[in-house]
Amino acid sequence: MAARVSKESFENEVLKCDIPVVVEFYSDSCIPCKQLSPILGGIEDDYEDRVKVVKVNVNYDYELTSEYQVMASPTIIIFKDGKEVQRVRGLVKRPELEELVNQIL
């Protein structure tokens, strides 16, 4: 299961990570976010040493939400070398997410 990161841990866990990081901005009350959870878990398992998966709760970490201009949940942002390289909003199917991940590997 993807680890939850906050403003305090975001820089070390995401921006300074030496592999690409898939960040889901989510809300506990968001049904599409709950549907996305097993998809992200599968990505995390299948790309174990090549991609990191983390989550940011938009209700608690509004500073990050604002900083990255997240307007809807779920929003997935993929970071590589500390920079945003991909972004997708809403529920995505696994093949679409895998394609985004494979593009940056």
Residue 41 belongs to domain spanning: 3-97
Residue 82 in any domain: the answer is: yes
**pLDDT confidence of residue 13:** 97
Provide the whole-model pTM.
0.96
pLDDT tens track for 43-55 = 999 999 999 999 9
- Please give the Cα distance from 15 to 92 (Å, whole number): 24
- Catalytic annotation, residues: 30, 33
Is-contact 14 72, C-beta < 8 A? no
Measure the CA–CA gap between 78 and 84, rounded to whole angstroms: 6
Structure confidence by residue, pLDDT tens digits, 1-38: 789 999 999 999 999 999 999 999 999 999 999 999 99
For residue 13, tell me if it sits in a domain: yes
Residue 104 lies in a domain: no
Q: Report pLDDT for 43.
A: 96
Q: Which two tokens stand for residue 73?
A: 């949940």
Residue range 70-88, pLDDT digits in tens:
999 999 999 999 999 999 9
CATH number, domain containing residue 66: 3.40.30.10
Establish if 19 belongs to a structural domain: yes
Tell me, yes or no, whether 63 lies in a domain. Answer: yes
How many structural domains is the chain composed of?
1
